[in-house]
Chains A and B, each alone.
Chain A
Amino acid sequence: GQNIDQPTEMTATEGAIVQINCTYQTSGFNGLFWYQQHAGEAPTFLSYNVLDGLEEKGRFSSFLSRSKGYSYLLLKELQMKDSASYLCAVASGGSYIPTFGRGTSLIVHP
């Protein structure tokens, strides 16, 4: 099984930078996903990391350290619309199907 841990809630100011951390314990690691989910809506894919390092995609970046079982999602130039739940999900054990963590609720205020 997997043990995925991320903070329950974070708050940040519009225009700022926020880093959402995720730690995991698993065997047969096959990749880590980040999804964004607005209240009452479906999750949308943000990133996939399988090798160590930083992947940048516009205002969002995702980092992975496999040896530390650690990832973070970095959001720059925060906008009000970034208020959402951010789900860290890990694929392992020969499968590429992710198991989701409980999510981090990000609140962006003016």
Chain B
Amino acid sequence: DTEVTQTPKHLVMGMTNKKSLKCEQHMGHRAMYWYKQKAKKPPELMFVYSYEKLSINESVPSRFSPECPNSSLLNLHLHALQPEDSALYLCASSQDGAGSSYEQYFGPGTRLTVT
């Protein structure tokens, strides 16, 4: 199984809502990532979890809150978002955050629209 799954595929939420994005992988990878991608732009790194611990937070606003319940799951909790947060949110995983295997596997993404 070389798949990273993400749910939901699409999400529309108001600025006062609270929602969560979910990501799952069963490849035994120990590093997981959240990226944000706007149209016609490259993915921008938001968070990195390595061995279930948050290792990188790229100065992301606190309205985005990541969580790694176990080595297979990664969540992104959303609260009080702004319309400019509308984007494709990509989850990725790799074998080891320290770099023993560098290839990242990406999930299909969640298309988020904030109204």
Contacts and interface: CB of A to CB of B under 8 A. Distances in A.
In this complex, the interface size class of chain B, counting residues with CB under 8 Å from chain A, is 20 to 34
B104 to A, nearest CB: 7
A42 B88 CA distance: 9
B48 A100 contact: no
B102 A42 contact: no
Interface in B44-67: 44-45, 48, 56
B103 A45 contact: yes
Interface string A74-110: 0000000000000101010001111111110000000
Nearest to B111: A40
Nearest to B33: A97
A20 to B, nearest CB: 14
B21 interface: no
Interface SS majority for chain B:
loop
Given A42-B107, A42-B108, A97-B33, A33 B42 contact: no
A47 to B, nearest CB: 9
B98 A43 contact: no
A104 to B, nearest CB: 11
Contacts, number: 45
Interface in B1-50: 4, 33, 41-45, 48
B102 A48 contact: yes
Chain A's interface size range is: 20 to 34
A70 B43 CA distance: 21
A102 B56 contact: no
A87 B42 contact: yes
Given A33-B102, A87-B42, 20 more contacts: A31-B102, A41-B108, A41-B109, A43-B104, A43-B106, A44-B106, A45-B103, A48-B102, A48-B103, A87-B43, A89-B42, A91-B99, A95-B99, A96-B97, A96-B98, A97-B45, A97-B56, A97-B97, A99-B45, A102-B42
Interface of A: 30-31, 33, 41-45, 48, 87, 89, 91, 95-103
